[in-house]
Amino acid sequence: MSRFSFHLPSLSRNRFLFYRRLNIKKTLPLLIIVLSAALVLFWFGQALQKALASPRTQGNTAAGRVTIAGPRATQSINSDFSFPLTGANKKVLTEVKFSLESAELRDEIIVKGQRATAIEGRAFVILTIKITSGFNRGLEINSRDYFRLTVNDNEGELLAPEIHNDPVTVQPKSTKYTRLGFPVNETDRNLRLIIGEIEGEKTVIDLTLL
């Protein structure tokens, strides 16, 4: 008489497999959500890190600022000039004070947030000017109208500033800083500033930058 043995799964094993399948069905969507959230956070972190990184523009930067080389030469001037400001009827409204603080010779300047470099054999003469108004209304002033430059003793050729922020807006009873610039040749000598109204008396200041 042959013997047969049968292996029947127990009830407890069937229950374990049933609950295991049930748990997988329940936890799978949750796992997908967690993984998706983790991927989104990782992507956001990478994007934020790139956004916060210091940008590299033309020239060197520091904390997002464009940096330029220092001046090759500096001359302190600290001279004050007062010019009348007239209205449409030629009546004097107020006097505006110009304080010429210094002149610099530079190879690099910042123009509209970008570094500008002089071509070989050229340089920039940069004037730092402080404009003070005691008038009770805002003013717009063309500062370049009051400054001219001569080089190489050529008094018949008056150079006007090519680098400027005109018109300079000066708020009522306030002070505003601005700069004017002249491109020059490195071989130029005997630089002289001519300061004054276009039709008025002039003051001459010798520059010793070159």
Give the pLDDT mean for 39-52.
65
Task: Give tens-digit pLDDT for 137-192.
Answer: 999 999 999 999 999 999 999 999 999 999 999 999 999 999 999 999 999 999 99
Side by side, the strands of the sheet bearing 147-150 are 147-150, 191-195, 203-207
Segments making up each domain of the chain, as ranges: 10-53, 67-207
For 82, phi then psi, to 5°, come to: -120, 135
Q: What local confidence, expressed as pLDDT, does residue 8 receive?
A: 44
On whether the 67-207 domain is CATH 3.40.50.300, my answer is no
Instruction: Report the Cα 144 to chain-centroid distance in Å.
Output: 22
Say yes or no to pLDDT of 111 above 80.
Answer: yes
The span from the CA of 77 to the CA of 188, in Å, is 20
Task: Cite the DSSP H helix spans in 152-192.
Answer: none
Q: What local confidence, expressed as pLDDT, does residue 183 receive?
A: 97
Cβ atoms < 10 Å from Cβ of 181:
20
Cβ atoms < 10 Å from Cβ of 26:
9
Say yes or no to pLDDT of 195 above 90.
Answer: yes
The span from the CA of 98 to the CA of 79, in Å, is 8
Q: What local confidence, expressed as pLDDT, does residue 57 receive?
A: 39
